[in-house]
Chains A and B, each alone.
Chain A
Amino acid sequence: MNGQAIEFKRVNKWFGKLHVLRDIDLSIASGEVVVVCGPSGSGKSTLIRCVNVLERIQQGDIVVLGQSVTVPGLNLAKLRTRVGMVFQQFNLFAHMTVLQNIMLAPMRVKRVSRDEAERTARALLERVGIPHRADSYPANLSGGQQQRVAIARALAMQPDVMLFDEPTSALDPEMINEVLEVMTDLARDGMTMMCVTHEMGFARRVAHRVIFMDEGQVIEQSEPEAFFAAPKSDRTKQFLSKILSH
């Protein structure tokens, strides 16, 4: 896939009176890995949630995989099958086993046969490193394992783009790496990724571009080397000094 995967065009969004996204102009190319960071309340989560229309924008447009999200009567479910998402709180379905969680959407949305869905699911569990937990229930898994299942579940739909909304923020420190490794592998395989995260090590190693947001605006964006070595704005410097100090 060539060209732009996601394009934000002068996007504005308000929650009531609160102006949470201000004139966002941003493009993410196919195969690109972008890390979005910024202080809490900066609008980075809202930004990523607008891509698969969990939030609606009031002005401007977002074009996802060639499809404008502001078209009236847009088939949202169809768009979302091409955009995988991983949440901070894993959001596995507690009443289903790991395998059932992964097989659900392919079977219900894409009408894939049970056998094929199961084959895919087991292959994905292999890929995220927990094939032996296929029949466990989410509550019996560690946080790191749950998040890896969540990634496998998103991948089962064979999306063209993956969105990560603070995927490691809810994890104990010793589990963060196992999730980041999976994400790193995914990036190496050429997946288009938009990640909201504070894992600066991951950003440095894996991202093609780092975006810094504050107060609903994109303050600065550049390649990781430049971003960490020579941040241009004071706000970025401040933010980095806080987040890298420990």
Chain B
Amino acid sequence: MQYQFKWSVLWSGQSAGWLLQGLITTLELSALAWILAVCLGILAGALRTVTFAPLRAAAVFYVEFFRNVPLLVWMFFWYFGVPPLLPRVVQDWLFNHGAEFWAAVIALGVYTGARMSEVIRAGILSIPRTQFEASLAMGLTVGQAYRLIILPIALRLIVPPMTNESLNLLKNSSVALTISVAELTFQTRQVETYTAKAIEALTAGTLIYLVLCLGIATVMSRLERRFAIPGLIARVGAG
């Protein structure tokens, strides 16, 4: 009655192919959502530090609204809630062309963007206000000051917390299975369905996520070192 391990189920039959497909979908979903999240995060994070109150209020609304509602709800919202607002023809086209995938990208991107904006805001606020004044005093516009000075410095300062958010994004992408996106966790379950070998399938999924996360962490720490500001940010592990 003891559990019989049979690791070969992971590479026999279609399992390996499914896990690979799931991995690719997870990577695509995470990458697109990450790009969206970073853009929104930078925009909202920067807007929260400007002096013009209506823009600041809009950014606060975005952040508080989107990060305080569970991701699962956002998945359902973008998949079940939004399409009915579109014309029937558009709906049909979407449903035939991976609506669930794009709904997941938007849900994950917008949700993570709200979280990232807080990190970015903190990064911007950690830069002395006088740096901003010096930029303006030279004749740069507010937009140029953010683009050329404030954000490039802030983005370097926030690599570690951004790594955190990026890893969360990757792991959160598994929530997409609730709206039928065949990502890695989905395929892990698929393997379990076909082989009835739950522990093997879950272990495979766990290891893949672990490797992905370690990979991301490594890339981010390389980035951190590569773009470190000489003399300003201590190089981690150098020398």
Contact = CB atoms under 8 A, between A and B. Distances in A.
Does B bind A?
yes
Contacts, number: 75
Contacts of B153: 93-95
B69 interface: no
A91 B130 contact: yes
Nearest to B231: A139
Question: A94, A137, A140 — which one has the most chain B CB atoms within 10 A of its CB?
Answer: A94
B218 to A, nearest CB: 23
Nearest to B155: A95
B122 to A, nearest CB: 18
Contacts of A80: 136-139
A93 B131 contact: yes
Contact of B137 (A85, A93, A94, A138): A85
Interface string A77-106: 110110111010101011100000000110
B140 interface: yes
A244 interface: no
Contacts of B131: 91, 93
A154 interface: yes
Contact of A139 (B133, B144, B148, B229): B229
B149 A93 contact: yes
A47 interface: no
Interface string B132-176: 011111111100100011001100100000000000000000000
Interface string B32-76: 000000000000000000000000000000000000000000000
Chain B interface category by residue count: 20 to 34
Given A89-B128, A93-B153, A95-B156, A105 B139 contact: yes
Contacts of B156: 95
B1 interface: no
A140 B140 contact: no
A112 to B, nearest CB: 12
A54 interface: yes
Nearest to A153: B138
A109 interface: yes
B229 A157 contact: no
B128 to A, nearest CB: 7
A91 B138 CA distance: 11
B130 A87 contact: yes
Interface of B: 128, 130-131, 133-141, 144, 148-149, 152-153, 156, 229-232
- Complex A-B, nearest 4 residue pairs according to Cβ-Cβ distance, in ascending order: A139-B231, A91-B134, A81-B139, A105-B138
Given A80-B139, A84-B137, A95-B156, 20 more contacts: A52-B137, A54-B133, A54-B137, A76-B136, A77-B136, A77-B139, A81-B138, A87-B130, A91-B130, A91-B133, A94-B153, A94-B229, A94-B232, A108-B144, A137-B230, A137-B231, A140-B230, A140-B231, A154-B138, A157-B138
8 contacts: A80-B137, A89-B128, A93-B131, A95-B156, A95-B229, A104-B148, A140-B230, A157-B139
